[in-house]
């Protein structure tokens, strides 16, 4: 068989097995850096197929790199498998948790990880049968939801020799993910004061909570003078234990986001000055706990165009009347305005995009835009040419990180979208392995986008990946 024919045949023969793997990970949801079940399951499949597997990269026991083949080019496929807290849910059109307050796959990473796995295995099968030189890699990336996995892996240098990286994400539309995403810093500021009786001897105490509150006042005044596309979010994670005790310890946790990495760094430096000022004003001390930081996405148009070409070749998932009826029932549970917001995002009508499920390949609709969230795929995109696609794994209007997403991710709707993604990634990787002119064009675009600037990890040298939850 030829390369493409072999890859597609492999995925057809192994579809039931891949669906069972995705279902199994869905049934065992795990939070970031704790994905022991999922990572071991994926590693077992890769080892059985002849991949060499290195576990524990990036100081994370559930992160791994699996390689097959020799020499250049080296094409990487990125996989994720972490779940989200408090989203446990049965396959039902009413909210009904399997485990009260338990985790659930509310972003479809059970599909993402297994779809990427299927692609890597199919590429290996096709390259081996056709004696194609080169290397295919599967990157087992934990803790995407907390923006930890790929950032710490990147600091370890595991992406440095890549010629290109591809990935995908479950969504509604079958299309290219052409937009960028916001760069980010996540950090906590711990203030330390001195306890005393708040009524009897307040002069003996120094309130750590005052430090936190004054810092947040300063940050709020700062907002007027930062770029309009930047975002600063915070929660006070510890503000003391009782009103009649001057709090000796308090903590505030911030996210800083902006379209460019350098913009995040500028705002972050300002916030550190504000923390220092709050400490001086309250006669407290403070320390900063830097959790993670990530880059904005640099979508590579050359590889993106190739993904779209292969998506059209493979074709969008097709759904049964039963699946459509189930999707419509789920839509009835969405918050008001969810479907309208999605249509605004896609810039299409219900008829144009498909309702309740997308059964066509849609031309990229978000080129040049910047989404409001962040992803650690951005770091990889500053190291090697990177692109990603989305396929239909959920109903139109499905809220992100919701119990309805968990339902879709464990249903036949999600599994159909996953198999399309696996086929598209496999065919794209094979072209990148065998057509040097594509890689050359992608590299030239990458060098222009980065202006030759090398990736520098946003992490301090002593930063350690923290488990989610």
Q: What is the DSSP letter of 417?
A: H
Domain membership flag for residue 460: no
Can you give the pLDDT at residue 448? 97
Q: Give 244-290 pLDDT, tens digit per residue.
A: 999 999 999 999 999 999 999 999 999 999 999 999 999 999 999 99
Of the residues 244, 266, 294, which one is the last residue of a structural domain?
A: 294
Domain membership flag for residue 421: yes
Q: Does residue 283 sit in the same domain as residue 307?
A: no
The number of domains in the chain is 2
Can you give the pLDDT at residue 141? 98
Can you give the pLDDT at residue 452? 87
Q: Is 289 helix (H, G, I), strand (E, B) or coil?
A: strand
Can you give the pLDDT at residue 109? 98
As a whole-number percent, the residues of the chain with pLDDT over 70 amount to: 100
Can you give the pLDDT at residue 130? 97
- With cut-offs at 50, 70 and 90, classify the pLDDT of residue 358: very high
Can you give the pLDDT at residue 156? 95
How do beta strands 249-258 and 183-192 pair? Answer: antiparallel
- With cut-offs at 50, 70 and 90, classify the pLDDT of residue 461: confident
Q: Give 24-75 pLDDT, tens digit per residue.
A: 999 999 999 999 999 999 999 999 999 999 999 999 999 999 999 999 999 9
Can you give the pLDDT at residue 450? 96
Mean pLDDT of 422-433: 98
- Position 469 pLDDT exceeds 80: no
> Closest by alpha carbon to 94, among 260, 330, 344?
330
405 is written with which tokens? 């997403």
Domain membership flag for residue 144: yes
- Position 92 pLDDT exceeds 80: yes
Domain membership flag for residue 455: no
Domain membership flag for residue 456: no
Domain membership flag for residue 457: no
63 is written with which tokens? 């992160």
- How far is C-alpha 258 from the chain's CA centre? 17
Q: Does residue 437 sit in the same domain as residue 323?
A: yes
* Order of strands, sheet of 231-238, starting from the edge strand that comes earlier in the sequence: 231-238, 249-258, 183-192, 285-294
Mean pLDDT of 417-424: 99
Can you give the pLDDT at residue 69? 98
- Position 359 pLDDT exceeds 90: yes
Can you give the pLDDT at residue 212? 98
Element (H, E) at 151: helix 149-155
Q: Does residue 196 sit in the same domain as residue 284?
A: yes
Can you give the pLDDT at residue 178? 97
Mean pLDDT (the chain) is: 97
- Per the CB < 8 A criterion, the answer to whether 185 and 268 are in contact is yes
- Position 8 pLDDT exceeds 80: yes
Can you give the pLDDT at residue 320? 98
Mean pLDDT of 198-212: 97
| CATH number of the domain residue 262 falls in | 3.30.70.360
Burial class (CB in 10 A: 0-12, 13-18, 19+), 360: middle
Q: Give 367-392 pLDDT, tens digit per residue.
A: 999 999 999 999 999 999 999 999 99
Q: Does residue 211 sit in the same domain as residue 96?
A: no
Q: Does residue 286 sit in the same domain as residue 327?
A: no
Of the residues 294, 319, 349, which one is the last residue of a structural domain?
A: 294
Q: Which domain holds residue 206?
A: 183-294
- Position 220 pLDDT exceeds 80: yes
Can you give the pLDDT at residue 203? 96
Q: What is the DSSP letter of 296?
A: P
Q: Does residue 116 sit in the same domain as residue 191?
A: no
Q: Does residue 169 sit in the same domain as residue 190?
A: no
Domain membership flag for residue 121: yes
Q: Does residue 289 sit in the same domain as residue 307?
A: no
Mean pLDDT of 103-107: 98
Domain membership flag for residue 247: yes
Element (H, E) at 78: strand 74-80
Q: Give 392-407 pLDDT, tens digit per residue.
A: 999 999 999 999 999 9
From residue 369, how far is each of 2, 296, 365 by CA, in Å? 38, 12, 9
Q: Does residue 149 sit in the same domain as residue 9?
A: yes
| CATH number of the domain residue 443 falls in | 3.40.630.10
- Per the CB < 8 A criterion, the answer to whether 77 and 57 are in contact is no
Q: Does residue 258 sit in the same domain as residue 319?
A: no
Mean pLDDT of 1-5: 96
- With cut-offs at 50, 70 and 90, classify the pLDDT of residue 140: very high
The structure's pTM equals: 0.96
Q: Does residue 362 sit in the same domain as residue 334?
A: yes
- With cut-offs at 50, 70 and 90, classify the pLDDT of residue 412: very high
Q: Does residue 319 sit in the same domain as residue 389?
A: yes
Burial class (CB in 10 A: 0-12, 13-18, 19+), 277: middle
Of the residues 245, 275, 294, which one is the last residue of a structural domain?
A: 294
């Amino acid at each position: 068989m030829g390369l493409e024919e072999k890859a597609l045949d492999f995925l057809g023969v192994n579809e039931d097995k891949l669906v069972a793997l995705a279902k199994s990970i869905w049934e065992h949801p795990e939070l970031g850096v704790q994905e022991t079940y999922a990572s071991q399951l994926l590693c077992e499949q890769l080892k059985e197929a002849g991949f060499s597997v290195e576990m524990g990269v990036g100081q994370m026991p559930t992160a791994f790199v699996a390689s097959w083949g020799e020499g250049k080019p080296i094409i990487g496929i990125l996989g994720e498998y972490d779940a989200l807290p408090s989203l446990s849910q049965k396959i039902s059109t009413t909210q009904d948790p399997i485990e009260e307050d338990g985790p659930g796959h509310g972003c479809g990473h059970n599909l993402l990880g297994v779809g990427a796995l299927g692609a890597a295995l199919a590429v290996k099968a096709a390259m081996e049968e056709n004696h194609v030189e080169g290397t295919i890699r599967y990157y087992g990336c934990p803790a995407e939801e907390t923006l930890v996995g790929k950032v710490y892996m990147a600091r370890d240098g595991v992406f440095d020799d890549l010629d290109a990286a591809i990935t995908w994400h479950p969504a509604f539309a079958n299309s290219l993910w052409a937009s960028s995403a916001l760069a980010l810093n996540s950090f906590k500021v711990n203030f330390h004061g001195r306890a005393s009786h708040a009524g009897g001897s307040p002069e003996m105490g120094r309130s750590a909570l005052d430090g936190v509150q004054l810092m947040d006042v300063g940050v709020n005044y700062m907002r007027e003078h930062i770029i309009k596309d930047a975002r600063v979010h915070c929660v006070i994670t510890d503000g003391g234990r009782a009103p009649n005790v001057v709090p000796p310890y308090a903590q505030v946790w911030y996210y800083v986001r902006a379209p460019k990495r350098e913009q995040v760094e500028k705002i972050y430096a300002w916030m550190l000055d504000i923390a220092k000022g709050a400490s001086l004003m309250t006669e407290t001390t403070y320390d900063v706990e830097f959790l993670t930081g990530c880059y904005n996405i640099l979508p590579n148009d050359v590889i993106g165009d190739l993904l779209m070409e292969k998506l059209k070749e493979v074709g969008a998932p097709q759904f049964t009347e039963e699946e459509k009826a189930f999707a419509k029932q789920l839509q009835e549970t969405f918050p008001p305005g969810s479907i309208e917001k999605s249509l605004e995002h896609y810039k299409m009508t219900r008829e144009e995009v498909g309702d309740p499920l997308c059964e066509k390949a849609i031309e990229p609709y978000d080129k040049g835009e910047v989404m409001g969230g962040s992803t650690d795929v951005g770091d990889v995109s500053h190291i090697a040419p990177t692109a990603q696609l989305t396929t239909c794994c959920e109903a139109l209007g499905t809220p992100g990180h919701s119990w309805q997403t968990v339902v879709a991710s464990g249903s036949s709707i999600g599994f159909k979208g996953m198999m399309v993604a696996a086929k598209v990634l496999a065919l794209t990787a094979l072209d990148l392995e065998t057509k040097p002119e594509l890689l050359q064009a992608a590299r030239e675009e990458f060098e222009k986008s980065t202006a030759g600037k090398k990736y520098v990890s946003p992490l301090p040298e002593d930063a350690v990946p923290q488990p989610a939850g």
